[in-house]
Amino acid sequence: MTADLQLRIYCTGVGGQGTLLATRLLGEAAMAAGYPVQVAETHGMAQRGGVVESTVVLGSLASPIISLGEADILLGFEILETFRSLNRCHAGALVVTNTGVNVPYTVATGQTTYPPVERMLALLKAHTGRLIALDGNALAQQAGSALAVNMVLLGALISSGRVPFTVATFEQIIATRTPKAHLETNLKAFQLGHEAAAALP
Partner 1 sequence: MHPLLAGPPGEKRLLLGNEAIVRGALEAGVALATQYPGTPSSEIGDRCYQISRESDLYFEYATNEKVALEVAAGAAASGLRVLCAMKHVGVNVAADTLMTLAYSGVKGGLVLVSADDPSLFSSQNEQDNRYYAKLSGLPMLEPSSAQEAKDLTHYAFALSEELQLPVILRTTTRINHSRGVVVLGELKPRQRQGRFEKNPFRYVMVPAVARQAHGILLAQQAKAAAVAETCQWNRVSGTGPWGIVTSGVSAAYVADAIADLGIRDKVSLLTLGFTHPLPSRLIREFLGRVEKVLVVEELEPYLEEGVRAIAADLPQPPVIRGKGEGLFSRLFEYHPGLVRQVLAGYFGVPYTPPTPVDPAALLGRSLPERPPNLCPGCSHRATYYAVKIALRDLGVEGIFPTDIGCYTLGLLPPLSMADYLLCMGSSVSTAAGIATATGQKVIAFIGDSTFFHSGLPGLIDAVHNGHDFLLIILDNGTTAMTGHQPHPGVTPAPPGYTGRTIDIHQVVQALGVEQVKLVNPLQYRLTLAAIKEAVAARGVRVIISRSPCILYLQRLGQKKRAKTFVVGPECRDCRHCLDYFGCPALQPPLEGEGPLVIDEALCNACGFCLQLCQKKAIRAKSAGNG
What does the binding site for partner 1 look like in residue numbers (CB under 8 A)? 14-15, 24, 27-28, 31, 36-51, 60-70, 80-81, 83-90, 103-115, 119-120, 123, 127, 146
Single-letter amino acid code for the residue at 83: F
Cβ 86 to partner 1 shortest distance, Å: 5
Cβ 185 to partner 1 shortest distance, Å: 16
Question: What does the alpha-carbon distance between residue 143 and residue 63 come to, in Å, rounded to a whole number?
Answer: 36
Are the CB atoms for 11 and 5 separated by under 8 Å? Answer: no
Closer CB to partner 1, residue 34 or residue 201?
Answer: 34
Cβ 199 to partner 1 shortest distance, Å: 26
Question: What does the alpha-carbon distance between residue 40 and residue 3 come to, in Å, rounded to a whole number?
Answer: 22
Closer CB to partner 1, residue 42 or residue 160?
Answer: 42
Cβ 195 to partner 1 shortest distance, Å: 24
Closer CB to partner 1, residue 119 or residue 183?
Answer: 119
Cβ 88 to partner 1 shortest distance, Å: 7
Closer CB to partner 1, residue 105 or residue 199?
Answer: 105
Q: Compute φ and ψ for 77, nearest 5 degrees.
A: -90, -10
Question: What does the alpha-carbon distance between residue 152 and residue 80 come to, in Å, rounded to a whole number?
Answer: 18
Closer CB to partner 1, residue 42 or residue 142?
Answer: 42
**59 SS3 class:** strand
Burial of 143 (0-12, 13-18, 19+ CB in 10 A): buried
